[in-house]
């Protein structure tokens, strides 16, 4: 029977005997764990040589001798020569030092330890070994299935004992709303979370999948209604992390695209709280794609400008719309749309520039309202368009654009009155 044992090798000497690809893989894995790796072999392959040049291992270019095992914590032999590997195993056994023997395709491994096929999820390392002898292909297949399960966020990875380090904060960009667009890294962070501080937007359905004892703090905002101000959100993040908890700040879209993620990172750093960011799919790009609108299109436009509707027009955005060289994406622009239209027309933008307003992007009740610039605000009002919605302005929003071969002049594309406002 084989017993699994986690071994701490950081800053401890280990010996790798052999200079081929197998030895290189094992030496690199040991170096990654912080071990002091000594490679003994008359010749080494290029990856091993690179490891030595990088200062992550030292190399003795000769045959192995018994004295090489002095004071080491672990031995790994992978010469491919039966007699040499057997001798190394015997020396290690006599010294009561665990030895991994890589074996070979024509002989079984004979060491006193085995290297598991491993996968990592955060600070959890999962290893797979066979109890009836080395069987690398089988253990790798099992490892890969377990890795997929962990990546999907289906396993509760929260710590059950107090960690030696302090708590930390992870800002997770949840994407535009569809849970399927939450990244693998985001799901993994949620699987480790003790506390989730959640927005109103983004993949809120994923909250129902969390274990019942994960604390969920709702700090969602809606237009004109901010029950939890940003300073209070910052305080909540810092306070929970300082209690030793892993805090996930689940945000809609991407944390750094009008998500005030920068302010939250700054607040954590100022308080000495470790903080990391998991990027998300921004609604600035996802909404248009979900509606079948390419933000750039060869022969039409090649630039995109993203703006906050409450800030009003920038000179760059107006210039791009006037010469039709740019697509402008407006976030948080529903309430501001009448004023934006008025100012754009005053600023010399063509009244017939196409506009598409995408509500509830990527969700089952997604709806698109289209119209020329001078009519779009009235159309949205008549249809009761509400936030969250993304406004796309420019030639790429023209109905039927993708029905025309790339490269045809956009001036030949006349709007179809039957689809305007649909």
Q: Residue for token digits 């101000």?
A: 229
To 10 degrees, what angle do helices 230-242 and 261-270 make? 40
Q: Does the CA dihedral 22-24-27-33 come out positive or negative?
A: negative
Helical ranges in 170-272 per DSSP H:
184-192, 230-242, 261-270
- Contact, 263 vs 185, CB < 8 A? no
Is residue 11 part of the annotated active site? The answer reads no
Active-site residue (options: 101, 178, 194, 199): 199
**Token code pair at residue 323:** 């010469």
Active-site residue (options: 50, 221, 343, 350): 221
Is residue 221 part of the annotated active site? The answer reads yes
- Contact, 117 vs 139, CB < 8 A? yes
Secondary structure, 3-state, 260-275: CHHHHHHHHHHCCCCE
The C-alpha atoms of residue 25 and residue 17 are separated, in whole angstroms, by: 12
Helical ranges in 331-372 per DSSP H:
337-346
- Contact, 15 vs 36, CB < 8 A? no
Catalytic site residues?
Answer: 199, 221
């Amino acid at each position: 029977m084989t017993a699994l044992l986690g071994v701490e090798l950081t800053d401890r000497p280990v010996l790798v005997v052999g200079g081929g690809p197998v030895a290189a893989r094992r030496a690199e894995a040991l170096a990654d764990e912080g071990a002091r790796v000594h490679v003994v072999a008359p010749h080494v392959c290029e990856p091993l040589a690179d490891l030595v040049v990088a200062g992550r291992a030292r190399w003795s270019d000769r045959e192995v001798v018994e004295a090489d095992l002095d004071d080491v914590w672990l031995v790994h032999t992978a010469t491919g020569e039966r007699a040499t590997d057997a001798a190394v195993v015997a020396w290690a056994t006599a010294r009561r030092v665990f030895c991994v023997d890589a074996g070979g395709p024509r002989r079984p491994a004979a060491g006193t330890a085995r290297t598991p096929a491993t996968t990592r999820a955060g600070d959890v390392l999962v290893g797979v070994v066979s109890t009836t002898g080395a069987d690398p292909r089988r253990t790798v297949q099992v490892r890969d299935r377990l890795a997929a399960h962990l990546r999907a966020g289906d396993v509760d990875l929260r710590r059950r004992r107090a960690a030696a380090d302090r708590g930390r904060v992870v800002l997770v960009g949840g994407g535009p709303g569809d849970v399927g667009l939450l990244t693998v890294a985001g799901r993994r962070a949620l699987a480790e979370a003790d506390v989730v501080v959640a927005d109103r937007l983004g993949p809120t359905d994923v909250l129902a999948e969390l274990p019942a004892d994960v604390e969920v703090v709702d700090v969602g905002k809606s237009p004109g209604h901010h029950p939890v101000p940003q300073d209070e959100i910052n305080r909540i993040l810092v306070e929970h992390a300082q209690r030793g908890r892993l805090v996930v700040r689940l945000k809609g879209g991407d944390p750094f695209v009008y998500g005030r993620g920068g302010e939250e990172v700054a607040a954590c750093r100022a308080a000495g709280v470790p903080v990391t960011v998991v990027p998300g799919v921004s609604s600035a790009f996802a909404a248009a794609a979900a509606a079948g609108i390419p933000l750039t299109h060869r022969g039409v436009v090649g630039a995109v400008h993203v703006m906050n509707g409450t800030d009003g027009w920038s000179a760059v955005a107006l210039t791009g719309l006037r010469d039709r060289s740019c697509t402008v994406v407006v976030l948080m622009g529903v309430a501001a749309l009448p004023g934006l239209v008025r100012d754009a027309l005053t600023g010399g933008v063509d009244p017939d520039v196409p506009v598409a307003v995408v509500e509830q992007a990527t969700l089952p009740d997604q709806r698109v309202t289209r119209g020329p610039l001078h009519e779009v605000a009235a159309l949205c009002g008549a249809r009761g368009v509400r936030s969250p919605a993304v406004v796309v302005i420019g030639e790429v929003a023209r109905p039927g654009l993708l029905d025309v071969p790339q490269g045809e002049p956009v001036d030949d594309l006349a709007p179809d009155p039957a689809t305007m406002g649909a």
